[in-house]
A and B are shown apart, each in its own frame.
Chain A
Amino acid sequence: MTEKTKEFWRWKEYNWHDEAKDPKDVETISAGVDVGSVSSQAVILLDGELYAYSNMRTGSDSPNSAINAMNWAMENTGLTMDDLHYTVGTGYGRVNVPFSDRAITEIACHARGGNTMYGPTVRTILDMGGQDCKVILCDERGKVKNFLMNDKCAAGTGRGMEVFADLLAVSIEEVGELSLDVEEEPPPVSSTCVVFAKSEASSLLRDGWSKKRVLAAYCSAMAHRVVSLLERVGVEKDFAITGGIAKNSGVVVRLERELKLTSLKSKYDTQIAGALGAALFAKALVEKQRKKVAQ
């Protein structure tokens, strides 16, 4: 691809399943699908244990994105939609998941998924998604106690970061590393609004700032903005970050520095928190249903 036509916002899509597990001899196969505005994930659990997942870009319509994500998670597993005992849809497109049994908000799903991904000590989950940013306080069982969402404004979202990656012709996956490769931390970009921040960045480049320095200034502005969201609800330890931006070290490092708090790390992909939570809800719901039938 030539420099001009390269899509700098593009990140790697992938799927995974645990070959050591066999879906044939389990009691419950539950699934969760999180159709976000930018990315979609599907998670499959065997008796509550993670078995398979996928992560891909959301297409132009939600139902197909949900089907594609689920099919991709099931690739080479021998499973089909009919094998799923219960599926919960979540995320922005949750009401448009054709094969789901119930829709649950991404707030509740992130809390539940975060509780499993980071352990029961996690109290604050910051989810930085493609078109929104959420702060969730939860209890030791992963139940939401307090939440705040910002999906009106692109500042502090993955979309805002994509605009910058495009402007500077830097791959979105390299933004974090590059932004940390500066000798001295520049002052943050002063405009919150992405449209205004973009013109500010153009003027900084014209002033002779390097791309890395501009990225550092933007990552730091984004971290600062997210901190003010966190402060509205009050951060409680332990603290974890989910979503795509959790993979951007430039934002995470600056965020932790400003909060004077280290975020918990997980062996799971940070983008699957919502879908994992949905699959956990699905397991609980199907078990409840079975109990009812048995009575």
Chain B
Amino acid sequence: MITAGIDMGSKYIKVVILKDGTVLGRAMETTGFEPVESASRCLDKAIKEAGVEMSEIDHTTSTGAGRKVAPKTDSDITDVGAAAKGVVNLEKNIQTVIDIGAEEGRGIKIEADGKVVDFAVNEKCAAGAGAFAEAMSRALEVSIDEFGQLSLKSDKAIPMNAQCAVFAESEVVSLVHAKTPKHDIARAVHDAIASRIVSMVRRVGINESVALIGGVSHNPGFVDSLKRALETEVIIPENPDYIGALGAAITASERTK
């Protein structure tokens, strides 16, 4: 049985092609301003990589912010449900999932079979999402990759007062004017997001092991800040941006049974 999972994120679209529990292919495209076209393109790319034909796919399930508009889908699943399913498939002992994308963050408490017990969401505000770090890296005039690395060089915790990304930008600019080293600013930014995320996740309870997924998991500076704020290790599963798509593809295979 071959299934597909499409994760329609606000910034990237991810597709996973699954055959009897094994990933055959995966692809990613920027969502851009025409998400439906991007999704079709992404699906084609993943199918090609998997070496299968569209007609061979038994069931396609979509997830993510734009899941209702995803092309060629048979069913859909919430972000939370897909994230939980995808994570337990790769890491068996996870009880808490932290999922942070460009525009939203989530804390999910799960059972061993990937069933969602509780979740808390932070959405529609850049302060608790990847967009916050991106905006600050722009204010600092470094790439987001460089920004993540820079943060690791800092051993100083400076507090950031502004909560809003727009106000924080001005704060970053004044820190630069005050000759604060860039790496200390980068850490302050990551510490600030991490502290907001941890407060949110505490509302569902933090039980080990903890997994981090979503695009922000590629940012080593943020991961470092998150570990410090959580006071525990964080497991980042393989291909962390594809977890939602994987979870959707697993759901698709369950739904064809």
Chain A residues proximal to chain B, CB less than 8 Å: 60, 131, 152-154, 159-160, 163, 191-196, 203, 206-207
Say yes or no: B124 contacts A193, CB within 8 Å: yes
CB-defined contacts of A207 to chain B, threshold 8 Å: 33
Contact with B33, one of A192, A196, A206 (Cβ below 8 angstroms)? A206
Find the residue from A60, A152, A192 having the highest chain B CB count within 10 A.
A152
Say yes or no: A195 contacts B124, CB within 8 Å: no
Find the residue from A131, A159, A191, A196 having the highest chain B CB count within 10 A.
A196
A195–B33 CA distance with the chains assembled, in angstroms: 16
CB-defined contacts of A195 to chain B, threshold 8 Å: 126, 131-132, 135, 165-166
Identify which of residues 159-175 in chain B touch chain A, using a CB-to-CB cut-off of 8 Å.
163-167, 170, 174
Say yes or no: B124 contacts A163, CB within 8 Å: no
Say yes or no: B33 contacts A203, CB within 8 Å: yes
Contact with A163, one of B33, B132, B166 (Cβ below 8 angstroms)? B166
CB-defined contacts of A192 to chain B, threshold 8 Å: 124-125
CB distance from B172 to the nearest CB of A (A): 14
* Contacts A195-B126, A195-B131, A196-B103; A60 near B163 (Cβ below 8 A): no
CB-defined contacts of B257 to chain A, threshold 8 Å: none
Interface flag for B179 (CB, 8 Å): no
A83–B174 CA distance with the chains assembled, in angstroms: 35
* Contacts A60-B174, A196-B126; A159 near B167 (Cβ below 8 A): yes
* Contacts A195-B131, A196-B131; A60 near B177 (Cβ below 8 A): yes
CB-defined contacts of A196 to chain B, threshold 8 Å: 103, 124, 126, 131
CB-defined contacts of A152 to chain B, threshold 8 Å: 163-164
Contact with A154, one of B131, B164, B177 (Cβ below 8 angstroms)? B164
A219–B170 CA distance with the chains assembled, in angstroms: 23
CB distance from B104 to the nearest CB of A (A): 10
Chain B interface residue count, CB cutoff 8 Å, equals 16
| Chain B residue with Cβ nearest A162 | B166
Q: Is the interface of B mostly helix, strand, loop or mixed?
A: helix
In the A-B complex, the 9 residue pairs with the smallest Cβ-Cβ separation, listed nearest first, are A154-B166, A195-B126, A203-B33, A195-B165, A194-B166, A154-B164, A153-B164, A193-B125, A152-B163
Q: Mark B93-124, 1 if CB is under 8 A from A, else 0.
A: 00000000001000000000000000000001
A153–B135 CA distance with the chains assembled, in angstroms: 15
* Contacts A131-B167, A163-B166; A153 near B177 (Cβ below 8 A): no
CB-defined contacts of B163 to chain A, threshold 8 Å: 152-153
CB-defined contacts of B164 to chain A, threshold 8 Å: 152-154, 194
CB-defined contacts of A206 to chain B, threshold 8 Å: 33
Identify which of residues 71-90 in chain B touch chain A, using a CB-to-CB cut-off of 8 Å.
none
Contact with A159, one of B124, B125, B132, B166 (Cβ below 8 angstroms)? B166
CB-defined contacts of A60 to chain B, threshold 8 Å: 174, 177
CB distance from A228 to the nearest CB of B (A): 14
Query: Beyond A159-B166, A195-B126: 13 further Cβ-contacts under 8 Å?
Result: A60-B174, A60-B177, A153-B163, A153-B164, A154-B164, A159-B167, A193-B124, A193-B125, A193-B126, A194-B164, A195-B132, A195-B166, A196-B103
CB distance from B133 to the nearest CB of A (A): 11
Identify which of residues 119-151 in chain B touch chain A, using a CB-to-CB cut-off of 8 Å.
124-126, 131-132, 135
CB-defined contacts of A203 to chain B, threshold 8 Å: 33
A160–B166 CA distance with the chains assembled, in angstroms: 8
A154–B126 CA distance with the chains assembled, in angstroms: 11
A203–B164 CA distance with the chains assembled, in angstroms: 22
CB distance from A124 to the nearest CB of B (A): 25
